[in-house]
Copies of this chain bind each other. A is one copy, B any other.
Amino acid sequence: MRKAFQAAAGLGHPRARPALAGALPRRNPASACGTSTDSLVSRFCPEKTRFKDHAVPNASWGPDMLRLHRELVEKRRSGWVKVPSFRSNREHIRGLRLPPGLAAPPDASDCRLFTRCIEEEGQGFEYVIFFHPAEKKAICLFQPGPYLEGPPGFAHGGSLAAMMDETFSKIAYLAGEGLLTLSFNIRFKKPIPVGSLAVLNVVVEKIEDQKVYVSCIAQSRDQQTVYAKSSAVFLQRQLEEESSP
């Protein structure tokens, strides 16, 4: 099951057919959408995996990002869980079947999760996501590199939107099997200087009528600067397990 990890991450973004809602079988009818958050976390956030986890410190991470990362790792006992991040979703959905209409094409050439599209350390998306299952909140430490530029010296607004979207999708899935993004809204306040740290605080606002509502505020480390605020709605869907061959 561990190898199934980032299905949550990748499938949060799909933006697929709302009309398909409810078409899949439930594994455990006791919870709102079949599976408890603890079960999802243990399944998708293994401490050890045979796949390379890109959400680990490297030489490009600034001192603030390193410090906050260390603090959150040390808070494991108080409930914070690091969400691993792999290069692609393709390897990680083995053992799980995609919902109808989202079946992956047979071609499995060199694919990458969008937010891991740039391999050079520090040039693209440097980020790590921590989730607190009990409080249904998350923190993403995001350090945009110079390949994410919009105006000279600042991150492209689209890169921040993508980072929020990626974080939302993981958290919406882990917190309530929010699998398909229905909508995403963002209000920009100030641009993020390239190479600096943005701290994204994500909250699961509510889970209602098979929808997961999430919100985010992106700020500077000292919380003195708000970069943007956003919200999104996900439709609950289960990943269907493959039947044994």
Contacts and interface: CB of A to CB of B under 8 A. Distances in A.
B111 A16 contact: no
B166 A14 contact: no
A189 B104 contact: no
Interface stretch (A23-31, A48-56, A135-143, A145-153): A145-153
Contacts of A98: 151-152
Contacts of A32: none
A188 B15 contact: yes
A165 interface: yes
Contact of A150 (B10, B186, B193, B228): B10
Given A111-B152, A123-B110, A184-B186, A159 B162 contact: yes
Contacts of A15: 157, 160, 188-191, 227-228
Contacts of A112: 146-147, 149
Contacts of A194: 105, 111
Main secondary structure of the interface of A (DSSP, over half): mixed
Contacts of A160: 15
A83 interface: no
B11 A146 contact: no
A163 B184 CA distance: 15
A2 interface: no
A113 B118 CA distance: 13
A70 interface: no
A158 interface: yes
Interface string A161-202: 111111001000000000011111111111101100000000
Leading 7 A-B pairs by shortest Cβ distance: A15-B188, A158-B162, A13-B150, A114-B156, A104-B152, A104-B153, A13-B157
Interface of A: 10-18, 88-90, 93, 98, 101-105, 107-115, 117-118, 123-124, 146-166, 169, 180-191, 193-194, 227-228
